Chain A
C-alpha cells in the first residue's frame, strides 16, 4: 500500500524549476532511495513532503492527507533528519535531542530512555554535555540523525545521512536505519552516494534536473541496462574465431570484444546465469580459462545510461 503519492509535484523558485512534475509512489514499510547529484531536486522534494515549503503546482498525499490541504496532519506522520545538521547552536546534544523528543510528544521517561539509547548507539554518550560548537562535521551529523531515531515517525526522511561520517559510523547508521524500518517506519533516503542507495534501498528513484528519470529496485535498474554486465576471460591460448562466434550466439550475450587474442571482454545481461554456458563452451573447445572477472553495472552506470553523465559530471554542470 502506498504511503506517499505525488501528483505532478512541482516547485519553482522564480524562473528556476527545482522539481518538475514529479510523480512517485512510495510503499509502506520500504526503504526508498532518492538518488541524484546535488541540485537534482531531492531536498526540495523532501521539504515539500514534510510541508516545510509549499508546492507551486501539483500535490502529494502523505498517508491519507493532502499536503496542500491538511499540512498539519501530514506533518505529524513525518520526521526528517536534514542534510545539514539543524542544531540550536548553543546547546549540547543532550539538550538538542531532549527538546526534539519533547516537541514530538514523547513522555518524560520514554524521552530519557530513547535519548540515552540513541546517544550511546551513535557513540555520542561521552560527549552529551559538550557544546555542539566543538563537534566535528561527522559528530554533528550523528546528532541530526539521532533525532529521527528518537522520534521513530511513521515516515522517516533522511537526507544524506552519512556524509562526513567514517566507514564504521556509516555502517552503524545504516544498521539503525534498517532497524527503524523493521520497527514499522517507511524510510525515504535521499543520497548522492551510489553504494549507500544500492545496499539500503528496496527501490530507488533517480532524479536529475528536477525530473524523475527512472524508479525501480536497484537490481532491476541495473538489469535494465542492455549488456550492462561484464565478463572478462583470459585464456591459456588464442580463441578460435568460430568459438567467439558461438559465444556471440548465446542468449543474453550482447557483444564480445577481443582485447588481446587470448583476452575476451563479454558484454551481456544476467552474467551469473550465463557464466556456466560460457565455461562449458570453452571446455568443449578445449580452451582452458586462466582467469575470469565478472562485474555488474553500478547505479552510477544506471545514472549514466539515462543521462549520458556520471554523477560527478552532473554535479559539475
Chain B
C-alpha cells in the first residue's frame, strides 16, 4: 500500500524540487531587504519551510481519493464489516493516511532542515510531533469531505478550490506582516499557518510575527480533534445508511 501512489510521489518530489530550486531561489533574489528581515534574515528558508508543509498537506488529502477508490472496488463494505469500532476505523484511516504522507514527505523535510540547520533538537522534535498531528487532521478533513460528497469529480474540484484558498490564505509562502488585515485575520486561524509556523519555530527560524508555538500546537490539536470527530460522524451517517451504494 505504501507505494500505491509512487507515481504521485515522484511527481510531487519533482514539484517540490521545482518550487525550491527554481521558484524559491528566484523569488528570494526578488524580495526586498525589508522582507528578508521580517522572515528571519532569509526569505528562501522561510519559503522552503512553508513549501514542505504545503506538500505535506497536498499529499495527505489524497486519502479522500482512497475512499472513492475503495467504494468503487467494494472495499468499503469489507472495512465496515471488520470487527473494529467505527472510531477505531476512522482513527486508523486518519492515522494511516497521515503517517503515509508524513513518511513520503520526510526526506524532503530532512533536506529543508539540512538547508536551514537545526539549532535545537528538542524544538524540532516538538515541531515534528505537531506536524504528525497536523497530517492526521488533514487526513480526517479529507475523509470528512469525501464522506459528505458522493461524486468523485465534485470532490476533486472542491479540493482544488480549497487548496487555492487554504494555501494562499496561510503563511506558507509569505509572512502575515505583508497581508491585508482581513487576509491576515483569516490566515491566523488557518491550520496551514499553524503547521508552517511551528515547523519554522522548530527549525530555529527567527522570523518576525510567527504564530506562537503554543497557539500553533493548540490550533493543530483542535484541527485534528474536530476533523477526526467529524470523520467518525460522517462515516457512520453516510456509509452505514448505505449511502455509498
| A, B in one complex | yes
For A53, list chain B residues within 8 Å (CB). 239-242
Least Cβ distance of B76 to chain A in Å?
8
B82 on interface, CB distance cutoff 8 Å? yes
Q: Restricting to A6-47, which residues have a CB under 8 Å from any CB of B?
A: 11, 13, 47
* Cβ < 8 Å to A, chain B residues 75-111: 75, 77-78, 80-86
Q: Which of A52, A89, A105 contacts B83 (CB 8 A)?
A: A105
Task: Give the total of B residues in contact with A, Cβ under 8 Å.
Answer: 19
The residues of B that contact A252 with a CB separation of less than 8 Å are none
> Among the listed stretches A72-80, A120-128, A266-274, which one makes contact with chain B, having 4 or more residues with CB under 8 Å of it?
A72-80
Judging by beta carbons under 8 Å apart, are B242 and A51 in contact? no
Question: Are B81 and A80 neighbours in the complex by a CB distance under 8 Å?
Answer: yes
Q: How far is the CA of A47 from the CA of B240 in the complex (A)?
A: 9
Contact A52 B80 (CB under 8 A): yes
B242 near A91: Cβ-Cβ < 8 Å: no
**Interface check A103, CB cutoff 8 A:** yes
Asked if A90 is at the interface of the complex by the 8 Å CB criterion, the answer is yes
Q: Do B1 and A86 have beta carbons less than 8 Å apart?
A: no
Question: Quick check: B86 and A72 within 8 Å, CB to CB?
Answer: yes
> With a CB–CB cut-off of 8 A, which chain A residues contact B121?
none
Indicate whether A116 reaches chain B with its CB closer than 8 angstroms. Answer: no
Interface: A304 (CB within 8 A): no
Q: Tell me which of B4, B74, B81, B240 contacts A84 (CB under 8 A).
A: B74
Nearest neighbor of A46 in chain B, beta-carbon distance = B81
Shortest Cβ distance from B3 into A: residue? A90
> In the complex, what distance in Å separates the CA atom of A75 from the CA atom of B73?
22
Q: Is A185 an interface residue (CB 8 A)?
A: no
Which residues of B lie under 8 Å from residue A75 when comparing CB positions? 81-84
Taking a contact as CB atoms under 8 Å apart, the answer to whether B77 and A54 are in contact is no
A98 within 8 A of B: no
Task: A13-B245, A50-B81, A86-B77 are known; give 5 further A-B pairs, CB within 8 A.
Answer: A47-B77, A52-B80, A52-B81, A53-B240, A90-B1
Q: Would you list 17 pairs from A and B whose C-beta atoms are within 8 A, ordered by A residue?
A: A47-B81, A51-B240, A52-B80, A53-B241, A54-B240, A71-B240, A72-B86, A75-B81, A75-B82, A75-B83, A82-B77, A82-B78, A84-B74, A86-B74, A86-B75, A104-B83, A105-B83
